[in-house]
């Protein structure tokens, strides 16, 4: 009795810490895990950013059809011989000038490249949206696998604990028989050794559960130290019948619903549009343009309407005949000069305004084979898109074929494992009765125990392998990933 108590206390001590606070931990359903992963998975976020980038490109391509408008304001100083920008006359004075100009252009026709570019970006947005769905599907499958792995390891843990409890029960029974002299002491020692081995199996099974929880946390981008647990659904056999479709029917359904196929087909359409855009560069471009200009110069002067009186100093006009030393001066001359001043900046900008408008035709004649090279690259890009689409279909078909065969094999293994467990349970009960009565030796009992619990472990493994592969097929049929 003391030996069983010892092993029981050891097992309870090992798991008391882990299970003490488990009742207060929020348990996540599969749907909650998947939705949380959609919001935090980095691959999903990258796909979302790609789609947003394509949306920006579409908006820019639409706005590129509107007229452009640019404005420039300048101020400069010049010295030496230069041309006055307002009078167009040469001058040797320092000139301070400034001005402003605005230019607007609009493309009327460029071989429909703008229209086709808009259509291409619309197609790219749809393709990137399907790529986003594909990323979410991949994440959801990873979450389902990780979720099932926790449940699978927990069932193996329960199987290991049941195996330990069976050994401990038999240990207690054997101890009584040894004490009564009905069995040799070696049987007790053998069972003690088996109980220790079973205890190690329980510890390893618990470690596998902890590792599976950690892996699912990492899928969800949840810190390892954060409390986490999942809801264990009811896996009734009636809910997991094999799909009533052939492999070709499953592939046909998946081809019509899976986002990677739709994205691959749209990328072909986008590449075809790219070829047309590249060919459009051979066609002349027709555009219109307009310009506004004005300026100011500090040399630009105008009359004010007022006059300034200037008295010239009298100059010497000669000498007296009788006295050559006596100078004779002219009378002072008074003149009126119109007053000039520099016009201010607003006035000059108002007076110097000018406009221009026109159209232009750009005809590509020779540009170093650039347009032809772009067309060839666009055609290659289209062929690569076609190959990628074909490869995507092949990968999907092969994946479904493997999943179908795996699921078909898994259900057979699962049914066989069920029958094996049922048979070994009867065999174990018979061997256990014989062992307790002394009719069977310890080797027979140990072999029956090993066979039974190994078969149970195989049954657990077969069940969850079947469930996962069946969910994969169900997923390719377009059904949601739920239990």
pLDDT tens figures, 96-136: 888 899 999 998 888 888 899 999 999 999 999 999 999 99
Beta bridge partners of 312: 333
CB atoms within 10 A of CB 89: 8
Instruction: State how far the Cα of 419 lies from the Cα of 413, in Å rounded to an integer.
Output: 10
Instruction: State how far the Cα of 163 lies from the Cα of 156, in Å rounded to an integer.
Output: 10
pLDDT tens figures, 310-329: 666 666 666 666 666 676 66
Domain annotation for the chain: domains and CATH numbers: 1-233+284-300 (1.20.1600.10), 235-278+370-483 (1.20.1600.10)
What's the rounded mean pLDDT across residues 340-346? 72
- What is the overall mean pLDDT for the chain? 82
Q: Give per-residue burial for 304-330: e unless 16+ CB within 10 Å, then b.
A: eeeeeeeeeeeeeeeeeeeeeeeeeee
Closest CA to 85 of 68, 71, 70, 101: 101
Q: Give the pLDDT of residue 13.
A: 47
Q: Give the pLDDT of residue 109.
A: 86
């Amino acid at each position: 009795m003391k030996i069983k108590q010892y092993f029981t206390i050891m097992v309870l001590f090992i798991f008391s810490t882990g299970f003490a606070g488990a009742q207060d931990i929020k348990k996540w359903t599969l749907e909650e895990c998947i939705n949380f992963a959609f919001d935090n998975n980095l691959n999903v976020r990258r796909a979302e950013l790609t789609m947003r980038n394509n949306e920006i490109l579409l908006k820019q391509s639409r706005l590129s059809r509107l007229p452009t408008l640019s404005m420039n304001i300048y101020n400069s100083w010049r010295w030496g011989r230069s041309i006055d920008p307002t009078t167009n006359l040469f001058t040797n004075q320092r000139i301070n000038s400034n001005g402003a100009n605005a230019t607007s252009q609009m493309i009327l026709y460029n071989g429909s490249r703008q229209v086709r570019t808009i259509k291409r970006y619309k197609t790219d947005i749809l393709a990137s949206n399907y790529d986003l769905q594909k990323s979410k599907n991949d994440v959801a499958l990873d979450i389902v696998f990780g979720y099932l792995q926790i449940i699978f390891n927990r069932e193996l843990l329960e199987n290991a604990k049941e195996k330990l409890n069976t050994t401990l029960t038999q240990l207690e029974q054997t101890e009584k028989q040894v004490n009564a002299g009905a069995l040799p002491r070696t049987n007790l020692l053998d069972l003690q050794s088996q109980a220790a081995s079973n205890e190690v199996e329980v510890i390893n099974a618990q470690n596998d559960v902890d590792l599976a929880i950690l892996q699912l946390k990492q899928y969800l981008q949840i810190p390892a130290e954060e409390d986490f647990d999942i809801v264990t659904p009811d896996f009734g056999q009636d809910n997991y019948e094999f799909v009533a479709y052939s492999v070709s029917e499953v592939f046909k359904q998946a081809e019509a619903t899976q986002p990677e196929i739709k994205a691959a087909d749209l990328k072909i359409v986008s590449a075809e549009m790219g070829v047309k855009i590249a060919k459009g560069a051979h066609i002349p471009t027709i555009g219109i343009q307009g310009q506004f200009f004005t300026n100011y110069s500090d040399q630009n002067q105008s009359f004010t309407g007022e006059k300034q009186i200037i008295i010239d100093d009298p100059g010497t006009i000669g000498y007296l005949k009788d006295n050559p030393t006596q100078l004779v001066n002219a009378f002072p001359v008074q003149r009126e000069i119109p007053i000039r001043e520099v016009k201010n900046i607003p006035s000059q900008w108002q007076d110097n305004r000018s406009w221009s408008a026109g159209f232009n035709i750009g005809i590509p004649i020779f540009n170093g084979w650039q347009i032809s090279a772009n067309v060839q690259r666009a055609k290659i890009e289209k062929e690569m898109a076609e190959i990628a689409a074909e490869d995507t279909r092949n990968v999907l078909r092969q994946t479904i074929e493997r999943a179908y065969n795996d699921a078909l094999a898994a259900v057979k293994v699962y049914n066989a494992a069920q029958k094996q467990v049922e048979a070994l349970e009867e065999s174990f009960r018979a061997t256990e009765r014989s062992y307790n009565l002394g009719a069977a030796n310890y080797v027979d009992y140990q072999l029956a125990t090993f066979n039974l619990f190994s078969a149970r472990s195989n049954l657990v493994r077969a069940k969850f392998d079947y469930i996962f592969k069946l969910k994969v097929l169900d997923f390719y049929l377009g059904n949601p990933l739920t239990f």
